[in-house]
Amino acid sequence: MDTKTRARWEGRGAMIDGAFDRRTDKDFTDGQLALYAALDAGCREVVICGGLPNPTEYDHDHFLGNLFLLAEAHERVGGDALSIRFAEPRESIYLVHDELTIHRVGDGLNRVSFLPFGGEGGVASSEGLRWQLRDFTLPTTRANALRNEFSTDAPSATITLRGDSAPVLAIHNW
């Protein structure tokens, strides 16, 4: 990061650890190091920006690896005590362990997709979605819950997983 950009971020209160600046010979990714620093500092609400693939680069491997940061954070802290998500200008990604409520953004179409993460997902119930997912199974072999939509008048959508469900990725775009 150049000096001017670094000064701008520090002026906003960002803590920047330069120990690994421009080093590629390390045991953890930059994302892991940033996450560990945030959790070690006591943060329990983590928003990761810039974690989705850049369409002009070959960085899908980093994006897929970054998804595991969601699971790592929950493993280190515990699901109930942590709010973590990827945030982009028109999309957020969450890791659901038990229940998640997502609030509508703007007046336009809000879509939500669900994918199992680490095993078969099981939805006990949902609210505020056009296609309800009561007693719905999210198998690991196919993506059968993509591009659901908020109900027309719903200010939010909630998904509740079964007790035996693996975590589920919830991808909200608007």
Say which CATH number the domain at 161 has: 3.40.50.10240
Provide the domain count of the chain.
Answer: 2
Q: What percent of the chain has pLDDT above 90? A: 55
Please give the mean pLDDT across all residues of the chain. 90
Phi/psi at 99 (nearest 5 deg)? Answer: -150, 145
pLDDT band at 39 (very low <50, low <70, confident <90, very high): very high
Number of DSSP helices (H) and strands (E) in the chain, helices first: 3, 10
Instruction: Tell me, yes or no, if the pTM score tops 0.85.
Output: no
Q: 68-124: per-residue pLDDT in tens?
A: 998 899 888 876 678 889 998 899 999 999 999 999 999 999 999 999 999 999 999
Lowest pLDDT segment from 60-64, 125-129, 139-143:
60-64
Residue 106 corresponds to which tokens in the numbers above? 């703007």
Note whether 111 and 154 are same-domain residues. Answer: yes
Question: Which residues lie closer than 8 Å to 110 by C-beta, 6 or more apart?
Answer: 104, 149, 150, 157, 172, 173, 174
Do 79 and 102 belong to one domain? no
Which pLDDT value is given to residue 78? Answer: 75
Are 109 and 155 part of one and the same domain? yes
